[in-house]
Structures are given as structure tokens and as C-alpha cells.
Amino acid sequence: MKTAKRRYPTPALEKGLDILELFAHEPSGLTKSEVARRLNRTVSEIFRMLLCLEERGYITRSDEDDHFRLSLRIFRMALEYPPTKRLVSEALPVMQELVHQLNQSVHLGVLEGGHVVIIAQADSPVSPGFYVKAGSIVDLMHAATGHVILAHIPAEQRNRAVEMWQHQTGNRVPKDLEEHLEKIREQGYEERDSYQMRGVINITYPVLDETSTAVAALTVPFLARLEDPTTPKTVRTALRDASLKLTEAVGGLHHPTHQAEKKPAKRPRIPQPEA
């Protein structure tokens, strides 16, 4: 897939965006020298950019180690964007009801460029538990949330997201990605072992708009507990109902396979990148 040639280059804007995208992957922060080195630029080229971004509140600087870090301003702006704000507002009551029903945490993720951003999260009312905090940025190819959204969006939008992921990570697309997404489309949801935590099973359903396109996905990172009757099947049933409720709340159309519980396919292996 070829990237369209830019007709109107804007070097200063691109430089600022490069800095913000770099900080999105560096939660511990970077010094101005490290930013310059990572972006293959001189310190003088990025110094004024850093000062401007700091003055506007997009990044902050630590007095202790002189590291710049991304602030929460962009995340707050995203939440204030009307469709996102409405989605979170509708989702939180549904998610709170779900966690008390299952004693498991749940999070709501959206596709943002080549990544998944967690825009809302509800904790399990019991301990121990596993959760992904709101505001987290997750690798698109390492998230059941991302795969479920990719499986339920138009091909053009999906290709664009995958292209951006390749550009941002420098990695190759897993060779069995399309086959994997097709299985999700047929089943209507994803159930798979976590990419990051042993013993955690991610169960994910899409939230759909009026064109049956995914605008988000609800995920329960299921963690089995001794003497707790909750099972993956219990989670599937409750999470399916929650996703239907949220889909209806945002004026969306149901996925045809969501109307009745289906026996899940064998949990797929994690797609491996090409050598």
C-alpha cells in the first residue's frame, strides 16, 4: 500500500507532531538531547518546539531530571470531542453494571491512528484483579480491542490504520492478520489469551454505529479466581448484552451474530510477524 504524496508540506507542524508522537511512546520522558537524537534533528531545531509545546500545556518538564513528558491535555481534548464524550457518558453506567455482575474489570477502547486508546475503564469490585487504565495507548497488533475494531471497519479505513501502525512501529504486518480478522467477523467477537499477561483471557465485543461500523470495543480481561463461578462463557453473555446496550445507546445496528450465544472458536494463536 502506497502513502499518498503530500501536496502542501508543513515542516514546522510536522516537527511538532513528530515530537508529540515520540512522547506518546515514552512515558518516562526524554531530555531535549534525546528528543533531537531520536528524531535525527539538532537540539537547536527542536528546542523552540519543546518550549512552545510546554507553554501550551501539551508537555511538562521535571525539575528533577530535566525530562519532558506528555501531559494529559491531548487525552482531555479527545474526551471533550462530542462523539467521544457522548460515548464515554453512555458507556460508564453500562460498564459499572457489568463489573458488579462479573467481578471483573472492563475497558472501552477506540482506534486512534495506528494505536488503540483506552478512553474509559471500570475496576473490578473485588481483589485481586487486572485492569488497563484509562488513557493507556496500546499497540494495535497487541490488543484484542484493536483486532475487533479492525475487523468491523471498512477496508479503506482498516488499511489506513495498518499503514500508520507500520509507519509508527517499523514492524511488518502479521502474515495471518486478514485470516484472523475474518474469524472475528464471522464470530462477532474475540476471545484470546492476553498478549501481555499469563492467565488473562481478553474477551472483546464491538460497539457499532448506524452503519454497523465499529466505533469502539468493550473488553473484559478475564482473570479466573478460586471459588468464583464466573467463567469465560458468563463473561461472553454479559459482555455481549453490554455491547448491544451501548450500541443501541449510540444509535447503532446490532451485529447479526450477537443475537444468540454461539460456541466460540478455539482461541487463536497470537499472529506472528513475517520473518
User: Same domain for 234 and 192?
Assistant: yes
Q: What is the pLDDT of residue 2?
A: 42
User: Same domain for 100 and 141?
Assistant: yes
Q: Containing domain of residue 17, as a range?
A: 11-76
Report the number of distinct structural domains present in the chain: 2
User: Same domain for 163 and 205?
Assistant: yes
User: Same domain for 65 and 113?
Assistant: no
DSSP helix/strand/coil, 107:
strand
User: Same domain for 205 and 231?
Assistant: yes
**How far apart are the two ends of the chain, measured CA to CA in Å?**
19
Region at 7 (left for phi over 0; alpha for psi -120 to 50; beta for the rest): alpha
Confidence of residue 271 (pLDDT cuts 50, 70, 90): low
User: Same domain for 186 and 85?
Assistant: yes
Domain of 233, CATH number, reads 3.30.450.40
Residue pair 98/122 in contact by the 8 Å Cβ criterion:
yes
- Check: pTM over 0.85? Answer yes or no: no
| 56-104 pLDDT per residue, tens | 988 898 877 789 988 878 777 766 666 778 888 899 999 999 999 999 9
| 115-169 pLDDT per residue, tens | 899 999 998 887 666 777 888 888 899 989 999 999 999 999 999 999 989 888 8
From the CB of residue 69, how many other CB atoms can be counted at a distance below 10 Å? 14
Q: What is the pLDDT of residue 227?
A: 80
User: Same domain for 244 and 133?
Assistant: yes
User: Same domain for 44 and 129?
Assistant: no
Contacts of 191 (CB under 8 A, 6+ apart): 201, 202, 203, 204, 232, 236, 264, 267
